[in-house]
Amino acid sequence: MLLPAKTEVARQLRRYRSWERRMLAAPADRRIRSTFENSGYTLCVLMGKRCAREAADAAERYLRTTRVAYLRDESARPGPRAVTRRGPPASDRRTPAGR
């Protein structure tokens, strides 16, 4: 797995936190909210996460640890569970010949 440079992660995390503070101070300002959401998206892409809060947490962990320790910790974390659709049991399924 390729990891981004720590300097870039630190820069994007600072940017995200800065816009987060501004957005919390002026939640009705659409320009600020848009820029905050864009900074969150950038952090998500950089850290390979689905939401900005997860990405910010991952960035903070990454900056606190070595790359090897971060990869080990990330691989040990449970990922999102796959949702599967189950059909009726095989005994209830009708075959084309059994109609």
Q: Domain limits of the chain?
A: 6-76
Mean pLDDT across 4-10: 94
- 24-33, 44-53, 77-86: range with lowest mean pLDDT: 77-86
| CA distance linking residue 52 with residue 50, whole number of Å | 7
**Mean pLDDT score of the chain:** 83
| Gyration radius (Cα) of the chain, Å | 21
Name residues whose C-beta falls within 8 Å of residue 35's C-beta, 6 or more positions apart in sequence: 19
